[in-house]
Amino acid sequence: MEVLGAVCLPLDNPTIEKCIGVIHAGHMQLSKAAQALLDTLKGFLPAWPQGRYLP
């Protein structure tokens, strides 16, 4: 995301946890910023064996 101009700061103390959901209209392409955010979030989420992320 930094490549797109976002400033990324690590948050490590205190630990922050939050359940989130992402809804995407499959027939529409994501913006570059939205795709970068989704890729970043996927890096922190465990995946199901089929490659689908947890609901």
Q: How confident is the model at residue 47 (pLDDT cuts 50, 70, 90)?
A: low
* pLDDT tens-digit readout, 3-13: 778 887 777 78
* pLDDT tens-digit readout, 34-46: 888 888 888 877 6
Q: How wide is the angle at C-alpha 51 spanned by C-alphas 35 and 1, nearest 5°?
A: 20
Which tokens hold the place of 42?
């996927």
The CA distances from residue 38 to 14, 16, 51, in Å, are 23, 18, 15
